[in-house]
Structure 1
């Protein structure tokens, strides 16, 4: 019998800058509406979340500014790399995100993209921007925890 791997074991793309630049309040897994060549590129890990964000428009969630490279074996029907993609969420989740983003300095950022049960999923989170001193404090805390782990490992 084959053991199923967790969907978080190997993300296809991660937005490492998001956790550095933002405080992430809550996260939600959302499906993404993709075309045929887009899903092939996503499976090849040819996706960039660096400048991506999500927006609520007309009661629908949209993933904006996420670059999915064109598929190499694609033909004339290849996709536009920067097109806006619809996110699949429940109405209550969309309402919560819409309410949260009305506050100043709050945005929705994609954190990870992975395949779950054959479907592309994106982990999105409500994020509030950090100040420079918050970023330095985070780096300092991370370094201290790393040193503590090194000391404890020797004992």
Structure 2
């Protein structure tokens, strides 16, 4: 039994350099999981953030701006489920290297909604332009070698 991809974040590969990928669980209500199965989801503009609950306990991960088409609050923050060791490793990496955690795709695995997250570094405009130039050079080279 494989994975059923519900939504992908195509802009993520253009706007960010993806350094590492993670899998997490997602806490949803009944209406939200129904909307996910109906593919009424948008990952555009969503990101994951750390939240420190009151009382000084360990921080938790939340996904923000993930649009799931339900009548009540469609873009509310939803809790991500990961092992404590993974979260602790992410805390250090995110704060030290100034990286971002963004959702790359949302899929169903054994009837559970799971976001594929990417540890990413934002690209500047000139970086994007350089990538585009390299892509065109590579295509031209392949076209010349094929003929």
Same fold per TM (> 0.5)?
yes
Does 2:22 align with 1:28? yes
Does the alignment pair 1:129 with 2:122? yes
Ranges in structure 2 where 5+ consecutive residues have no aligned partner: 53-58
Q: How does 1:1-155 map to 2 (within 5 A)?
A: 4=1, 6-7=2-3, 11-58=5-52, 59-70=59-70, 78-103=71-96, 105-150=98-143
Distance 1:94 1:69, change over 3 A: same
> 1:105, 1:129 within 8 Å by CA — same for their partners in 2?
no
List per-residue Cα deviations over 1:126-155 (Å, max 9, x = no partner): 111111111012222233344455566x57
Return the alpha-carbon distance in structure 2 between the equivalents of residues 40 and 147 of structure 1: 46
CA contact (8 A) 1:56 1:94 kept: no
**Cα distance in 2 for residues equivalent to 1:145 and 1:50:** 29
TM-score, normalising length from structure 1? Answer: 0.81
Q: Distance in 2 between matches of 1:95 and 1:140?
A: 38
Distance 2:65 2:85 in 1: 24
Query: Aligned equivalents of 2:5 and 2:26: distance in 1?
Result: 15
SS in 1 for 2:24: strand
Question: RMSD of the TM alignment (CA)?
Answer: 1.9
Q: Is the Cα–Cα contact under 8 Å of residues 35 and 79 in structure 1 kept in the other structure?
A: no
